[in-house]
Structures are given as C-alpha cells and as structure tokens.
C-alpha cells in the first residue's frame, strides 16, 4: 500500500491459497475451517485476499468513477503483499471468443469463474 492511505474499501474475495506452490486451492477448503474457538494452529489452510475493485479511498467514494479509473487507482495504490493480498488478473475483451478463452484459462488456474464488468 502506498504511503498516505488512511482508509479504503476494496471489492475482493478471500481465496484459499497455497503460498508454497503459488496456486489457488479449492474454495471448499474454507468451509472445512473451524468457526469457534479457533487458534493459530487450527488455521492450516492459508488465505489470500484477491482484490478486483477499489470503491472508496481516503474518504472519497469512487462509485461514480468508471472501472478504468478505479482499476488504475487500485493498481497504483496497492501492490501484492507476500501473497496475502493479490490484485486479480484481468483481461479487457472485445469479443465473446476472448472472454471464452480467458474463462478456460481461469478454470485451468483453479478459479471458479470470471467476473465480467463494463469498463465505462
């Protein structure tokens, strides 16, 4: 995170993550985690925050800005942090075939699917 950031809201998802092999794991692993009386030793499944949108920054709502602006601001403000925070991989696509190819790549990388948003 860049210096001077006082507050922010990210649109993100917690994902089970294999830090050693740099790989997304099955989302079902999160449901196997204990919910009561949890100790550090209980947390065998590590998680990473995958951020895909910046909604609020330093007391300013970014909701009226387009995704181009918010995504640029996200990447300029945050960087990956030891696999605990990751910025999602994205593709700007102009055709169904490009989206279909990116979906196939995402599935191969153990993602559950794609989030599709308009940029403007």
Q: What is the pLDDT of residues 91-110, one digit of tens each?
A: 889 899 999 999 998 888 77
Q: How far apart are CA 48 and CA 15, in angstroms?
A: 5
Q: What is the pLDDT of residues 8-21, one digit of tens each?
A: 999 998 888 887 78
Mean predicted lDDT score pLDDT of the chain: 83
DSSP element (H, E) containing 9: strand 8-18
Indicate if the pLDDT at residue 23 is higher than 60: yes
Indicate if the pLDDT at residue 33 is higher than 80: no
Indicate if the pLDDT at residue 115 is higher than 90: no
Domain 8-90: which topology?
Answer: D-amino Acid Aminotransferase; Chain A, domain 1 (3.30.470)
Backbone conformation region of residue 83, classed left if phi is above 0, alpha if psi is from -120 to 50, else beta? left
Whether the CB-CB separation of 16 and 45 falls below 8 Å is answered with yes
User: CB-based burial of residue 59 (10 Å sphere; 0-12 exposed, 13-18 middle, 19+ buried)?
Assistant: exposed
Whether the CB-CB separation of 86 and 50 falls below 8 Å is answered with yes
The structure's pTM equals: 0.75
Please tell me the predicted confidence (pLDDT) of residue 34: 58
Please tell me the predicted confidence (pLDDT) of residue 43: 62
Give the residue extent of every domain in the chain. Answer: 8-90
């Amino acid at each position: 995170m860049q210096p001077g950031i006082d507050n922010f809201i990210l649109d993100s998802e917690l994902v089970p993550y294999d830090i050693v092999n740099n790989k997304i794991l099955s989302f079902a692993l999160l449901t196997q985690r204990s919910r009561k009386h949890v100790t550090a030793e209980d947390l065998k499944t590590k998680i990473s925050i995958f951020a895909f949108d910046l909604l609020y920054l330093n007391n300013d709502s970014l909701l009226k800005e387009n995704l181009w602006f918010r995504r640029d601001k996200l990447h300029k403000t945050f960087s990956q942090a030891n696999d605990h925070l990751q910025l999602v991989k994205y593709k700007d696509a102009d055709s169904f075939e490009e989206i279909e190819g990116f979906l196939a790549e995402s599935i191969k990388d153990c993602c559950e699917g794609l989030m599709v948003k308009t940029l403007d």
